[in-house]
Amino acid sequence: MSTTLDPNAAPSAAPVKTRGRVLPSPVTPAEIVLIGVLVVLWIVLAFATPAFLSAGSIIPLLVEVAPVALIGIGMTFVIITGGIDVSVAGAIMVCSVVTAKLMRDAALPVWWCLVAALGTGAVLGLLNGLLIAYGRVHAIIITFGTANLFLFIGLQIFGSTPVAGMPNTLAWFGRGVDGRTLGVPNSFAITVILAAIAWWYLRHTPGGRHFFAVGGDPVAARLAGIRVQRRILIAYVVTGLLVGLASIFTLAKGTSNLDQSVGSGQELAVIAAVVIGGTSIMGGRGSVLGTLLGALLVQTVKSGVTQLGWPSQLSDLFVGIFIVVAVGTDLLRRRARREP
């Protein structure tokens, strides 16, 4: 029995291939550019000063990067939500002096030092978060005020005298042999692990994507059922916790004395790392991986200028140029998206 085809019959539907959810590339074009800049810069510095790639140069560089990148993780959350925190330098001072005095006077072991630093940082971050999320005052105003408040508190705890005679309790986080695992500083390894966790959270979880929604359009985010104030509060508390841990890194890499200059200028380095890393200062877009790369770039420039024997002001100039380029690129990208 033969079958005939009806030319007027409707063609059978082609099989439809289903596709799973497609995520954006794990590495953004901006991060690829940063990686390229770092590679070129390291090659140039390796030829200009061979000591740059030695362990005696790389290990201190990574130790210096750790606290900046660590606080930068929290700052990335904050800036993604459309805020900013210029009080982190004062917060580092408070966390550092509180922990240093407890470590010296109460002979706290390392775990209790961590509890003291993290607890102090969390309280300071909670204060910022409550005032910004529920006080509904712009973050730059609140954190500028709390920056001066934290600085005053830190100086009062110092009592106009450095904290001298600190024990070597935090050596595991320092730059010495005891502070390395497989040749990598423990502080930097911890920072990379926390950055990977934060990257995964922002990229792969609904809670992480809520931070982007809050920074992109808080009104629309609220209408979509996102608890905007809670997300903002969480961002500042996380930053406070990471400031506390960064103060442990700061104490560990120093000497047995702690003076009132601790944390000075740290907020500028952190914000520079975040902005250079591709996080939009307008909120709604950012990357923890970019922040880590930005911190590496900032510290590489500072180390390179020092090893080349150039004036230290040039490092500020180069970092400033990187910031202007990053912000300008972000503004051009936003303008291009608005145009038809």
Per-residue pLDDT of the chain (340 residues; tens, 9 = 90+): 444 445 454 444 444 444 444 445 678 888 899 999 999 999 999 999 888 888 889 999 999 999 999 999 999 999 999 999 999 999 999 999 999 999 999 888 999 999 999 999 999 999 999 999 999 889 999 999 999 999 999 999 998 889 998 888 999 998 888 899 999 999 999 999 999 999 999 999 999 999 999 999 999 999 999 999 999 999 999 999 999 999 999 999 867 789 999 999 899 999 999 999 999 988 999 999 999 999 999 999 999 999 999 998 899 899 999 999 988 888 888 777 765 4
Distance of CA 281 to the CA centre of its chain: 14
Are the C-beta atoms of residues 292 and 300 closer than 8 Å to each other? no
The structural domain count of the chain equals: 1
Are the C-beta atoms of residues 24 and 282 closer than 8 Å to each other? no
Coil, strand or helix at 181: strand
**What's the pLDDT at 338?**
67
Q: For tokens 């009592």, name the residue.
A: 159
Query: In one letter, which amino acid is 101?
Result: K
Query: For residue 4, is it within any domain?
Result: no
Distance of CA 158 to the CA centre of its chain: 27
**What's the pLDDT at 329?**
86
Query: For residue 147, is it within any domain?
Result: yes
Residue 325 is encoded by which pair of tokens? Answer: 């380029």
Query: For residue 199, is it within any domain?
Result: yes
Query: For residue 280, is it within any domain?
Result: no
Tell me the residue range of the domain where 140 lies.
51-263
Query: For residue 135, is it within any domain?
Result: yes
**What's the pLDDT at 247?**
96
Query: For residue 36, is it within any domain?
Result: no
Q: Is 211 exposed, middle or buried (0-12, 13-18, 19+ CB in 10 A)?
A: buried
Nearest to 281 by CA among 217, 326, 238: 326
**What's the pLDDT at 27?**
80
Query: For residue 238, is it within any domain?
Result: yes
Query: For residue 171, is it within any domain?
Result: yes
* Backbone phi and psi for residue 163, each to the nearest 5 degrees, phi listed first: -85, 110
Are the C-beta atoms of residues 188 and 65 closer than 8 Å to each other? yes
Tell if the pTM clears 0.85, that is, is over it: yes
* Backbone phi and psi for residue 65, each to the nearest 5 degrees, phi listed first: -70, -35
